[in-house]
Every structure is written in C-alpha cells, then in structure tokens.
Structure 1
Amino acid sequence: MDKLPKVAFPAIIAAVVLIIILTKSAITIGSGEAGVLYKTFDNGVVTDEPPLGEGFHIVAPWNKVIVYEVRQQELFEKMKVLSSNGLEIQIDGSAWFQPVFQDLGKLHQTLGENYLQRVIQPAIRSAARSVVGRYTPEQLYSSKRDAIQDEIFVETKKILEKQYIKLNEFLVRDVTLPSTIKEAIERKLKQEQESLEYEFRLVTAQKEAEKQIIEAEGKAEANKILSASLTDKILQDKGIEATNKLAESPNSKVVIIGSGDSGMPIILGNQ
C-alpha cells in the first residue's frame, strides 16, 4: 500500500478545521424568529443594524447569534388587586405582545432573553392595580369590564413602548369577586331588574287607561253632536225611509194599521 504524500496530511487537517469553522459559522434563523449578532471583538451586541432575519447566515466563528421569537406571543396572567373600597379582586387577563424587530439588539442589550419576567409581567400587574383601584366591585362585575380592559391596555402599552416591546392587545377574560360580594351584587341587580319591569307595567297600564278615557270622551262628544243634530223632521224622514225598505223586501208581509203619536206608520209583519 502506497504511503500518502506528505502534503496530504496538512490538507486533511485544513479540511477538518474548515468544516468545523463552517459548522460554527453557519446559522439558520427559523420562521417567526430573528437573530441578534454579538461581536466578541467589536463592541459586543450590534444595535445599529437590523437583526438577522429568517434563513441561512454565515458569521465569524468567534461571534455569537442570539435567536429571539418575533411573532406575536401570549402571556396569561392571574392577578389579585384591590378595588376602590379595598376588596380583593382577581383579574384573569391575556396580553398579546411581540418584540419590536428593528430594536431587537437594544432589547437584548438592556433586558436580555428573560424580558418577559423583567418587564412585561410587572408592567401588566402595575397597570391592573392602578386601573382596578378606580372602580367598585359592582362596576367591575357588571358595567365596566370593557373600560377596565381598555385602560389596562393603554397604561401597559405606554410602559412597554419604552422597552422595545409592542403590546397588541390586552383581554380581560374573567373577574372573580369574593362570593359574598358577588351574591349581594346579583341580588341587587335582580331587584333593580324587577323594579324596572314593575315600572314598565305601570306605565303600560297608565297609557292604556289614558287611551280608553280618550276613546270614551270621543264617543261621548260624537253622541252629543249627533243628538243635537237629530230634529223631529230628520227622525221622521229616516223612519219613512226604513219603512219603504221593509215594504220592498220580498220576504216581508207588511200591514199598515195606522200611525203612531209621532206620525210614523205602525208596521206589523212576519217572515
């Protein structure tokens, strides 16, 4: 077996070293991710350039790439806060957030990879305490949930914008009150509903009574006008007209006997 040329060993060693270097230098950024470049011999974290986007990248083997998820993420929080009258309320909420892509280097430099625990959770809890403290338990339970949700979102967003994080939405999923308070509020709401229904029935009955009075007054006024217009002559003409119609009926047998006191004929007949 022939011996390998002396130049072959350096070539093999160089190839192995090259493979190792390429392996350490090749970086693949996945879907929905971005990479922050850290230059070991050049001022550390790169903050004045956009982060590495999705796909394949080659970096110097002595540098590092820290990969972050930049798609929208969700944080679910259960928070115990105090209402305006000092009662403990539990708020279940969800925050939808994502790092600001262009500022990912600054985010890594100032907060690091655990920015969720360092900034987002404290910001949400602080905003929730501030907002819920303005309302009573009854308002939190019934009419002000949307307002609370919007106010927590606005206050949290103001904090996170300064920390290179974009808050897309905050949702209040549930508001839990102490059982005794909840039952008292439900009883009060039920009583208010029954009171409103009773008032509605009273108003409806009153309107119906007013309608009947108006109709009765209208009929009385009509009868009064009609009575005033019916003279003896008109009544006599109407009687003659009715008598003629009865006489013309083929099913009637009419006998005129004489006339009454008013001068009207007296008619007897059968079908």
Structure 2
Amino acid sequence: MTDSQTTRNTTRPLQVRPPGRRAAWAIGGVVAAALLLSQSLKVIPAGYVGVVFSAFSGVKSGVRQEGIHLLMPFVDRVNLYDARLQEVTLAHNINDGDEGAIRARSQEGLDITADVTVQFRIDRAKAAILHKELGRNYLQTVIRPQVRSKVRDAIGQFSAADLISTQRQAVEASITTALRQVFERNNLVLDSVLLRELRIPDSVAKAIEQKQTAEQQVAVEKNRLQQANISAQRAVVEAEGAAKASVAKARGEAEALSLRGRALRENPQLIQLTVAEKLSPGIQTVMLPSDGNFLLDVANLTKPKTGN
C-alpha cells in the first residue's frame, strides 16, 4: 500500500446513522400503548349504564354501572343507556312526525283529542336484555305506539261528558294500568302518566254544558221538593203530636175529676174543705173536726164582749 492510499483512507469521514428512526419507533410505541389503553378502559358517566358487546360472544349479560371499567381492547364495545327519568310528550304543539296529539273516539263515537306526557326509565338491571331485544330505538318502536294505543283504548271506555267532567282520573288510571304491563314486558319502568288536556268539538262541549246545566237545575228542584216534603211531614208529625198531647191531657183531666168526685162521695168532709179553700182568705172561718159537721165564725168568736 502506498503512502497516498494510506492518506486517503485515514481522511475518509465516518458514516453515522441518523437518530430519527429510533425516535419514530419510540413515538409509535407510545401511541400504540395509548390506543391500547383507551380501548381497554371505559368510563360510564353518572346516570348511565353500559351494555358490553363482544365481537366473539355478542351481548354480554352483565351491566356495567357508573365508573371506570376494564375491557378487552378491540373486541369489547360499550353501549351507553340513559337510566335517568325520561319523558315523552304527545301533544298538538309537539312535532312528532305524522301526528302529535292523540286522536281517539269516545264511547258514543265523538272525536276526542288528548295531550299526554309519559314519564319512564329503563330497568337498569335488564339493560342488556333491552339492548338485545329493542336496541336504542325503543322510544319509536315501543313507547310512542303503545302510548297512543292505550290512550285510545281508555278514552273509548267513557262518554264525552264523563271525560271532560268527572272521569278524568279514571282515564289516567286506566292508561297507567295498561301501559305498566307493556313497559314491564319490555324491560322499562313506568313512572307516571299525565293526562294534560282532553279536547272535544266546541259544539259538542256546548251541548254537554247545556245538558249539565239542565240536570243541575232539575237536581235543585228535586232538592227543594224533598225539603218541602220533609217540612210537610214534620208539620204533620208535630200536629199529630199536639193532638195526641191534647187528648192525653183531656183524658188526664177527666180521670182526675172522676177520681175527685169519687173521693168527695166517699168522704163528705172534703166538701167542707173545698168550700173553705174557696172562701179563704176573704172570710175568716175555721173548720173544726167533730161528729157534727159545722163551721164556726171566727169573727164572732174573737169579737170582744160588752158590759151589761
């Protein structure tokens, strides 16, 4: 080897690998770990429950409650369901697709329009069954159509006059009973049914009001007649009582006179006693008991003697 070749070999620069490839691998590892961690952990917010769907086994039976849960990454997926109190309102001023308020017919076939609010919640313990059988669209597939159906059925059991007057609570009770059974079958919990308004045609409402007014007037007249009859019966009873009292008094007086007469006949001295009672105190007399019945003049007996 010549000196010139040695010089060229010693002056050739060293080749060093760039550091960017290692950093890229490190960053990629961090991103992969973060992605894996995000797929492994799931936070269930307050008021919700989670239903886990596995790519291997389908919907899992358990329900995940509020908090942080560990999942199998890229295999398990959590579906959140709101377990808080919810409500659906069917009313004439609510945009609800084809119709808002519920249109029904009364017992006699009159058109009735009802505004209804239903408050409900899902059954937390059965959220997995709900997800498997109904899915997230249970509001459209079960709740709305069933509310309409049960409200129509309940309204059809009553007359229009009863619906707008005395049977409103009975209608709510009938709807509540029917809907509670449907909700339980579909893993839902019914909280309450609020019958907000019942509307009937104005002409029918006016006729019903006139009929009710007439019935009230008849009831008032019947009440007055009953009161008059009661007063008359009371007067008759009082008159009969007074008559009976008079008869009893007369009978008593007659019996008293009869007894007095008998006593005078049996005891002649009582005659002198009676006369004395009548004359007293105007005439001063005294009756002395003796075998000879007589009266003594007290004035003559008490008169002072005069000299001869």
TM class, shorter-chain normalised? 0.7 to 0.9
Match 1:43 to one of 57, 60, 64: 57
TM-score by length of 2: 0.67
- Per-residue CA distance 1:238-267 (angstroms, 9 max, x = gap): 9x98997xx7xxxxxxx78xxxxxxxxxxx
The question of 1:29 aligning with 2:41 is answered no
Counting only pairs closer than 5 Å after superposition, residues 54-203 of structure 1 correspond to structure 2 as: 54-62=66-74, 63-77=76-90, 78-203=101-226
List per-residue Cα deviations over 1:184-209 (Å, max 9, x = no partner): 11221222222222212211221122
With normalisation by structure 1, the TM-score equals: 0.76
Q: How far did 1:157 drift?
A: 2.8
SS, match of residue 84 in structure 1: coil
Gaps of 5+ in 2: 1-17, 91-100, 262-270, 284-308
Alpha-carbon offset, residue 116 of structure 1:
0.4
Q: Partner letter of residue 66 of structure 2?
A: E
Query: Is the 1:123–1:160 contact (alpha carbons within 8 Å) kept by the matching residues of 2?
Result: no
Deviates more, 1:181-190 or 1:129-138: 129-138
How far is 1:37 from its partner? 1.2
Q: Sort the Cα spacing of 1:242 and 1:135 in 2 relative to 1 into closer, same or farther, 3 A.
A: farther
Letter of the 2:226 counterpart: V
CA RMSD of aligned residues (A): 3.2
Structure 1: gaps of 5 or more residues: 248-254, 257-271
State the Cα distance separating 1:123 from its structure 2 match.
0.7
**AA aligned opposite 2:104:** V
Q: Percent of aligned positions with the same letter in both sequences?
A: 29
Q: Which amino acid aligns with 1:138?
A: A
After superposition, the Cα gap between the structure-2 partners of 1:224 and 1:86, relative to the gap in structure 1 and judged at 3 Å, is: closer
Higher relative contact order (CA 8 A, sep 6+): 1
Report how many residues are paired: 241
Task: Give a deviation string over 1:17-69, Cα, whole Å, max 9, x none.
Answer: 21233234332212221011122x313332xx221101112323423211111
Distance 1:22 1:242, change over 3 A: farther
Residue identity matched to 1:154: T
Cα pair distance change 1:110/1:224, threshold 3 Å: closer
Q: 1:19 to 1:148 in 2, by over 3 A?
A: same
In 2 relative to 1, CA 223–86 (structure 1 residues): closer, same or farther, beyond 3 Å? closer
C-alpha change, 1:33 and 1:225, in structure 2 (3 Å) is same
Q: Please, which moves more after superposition, 70-79 or 155-164?
A: 155-164
TM-superposition CA deviations, 1:103-135 (whole Å, max 9, x none): 212322332212101110001111122222232
Per the alignment, residue 264 of structure 1 pairs with: none
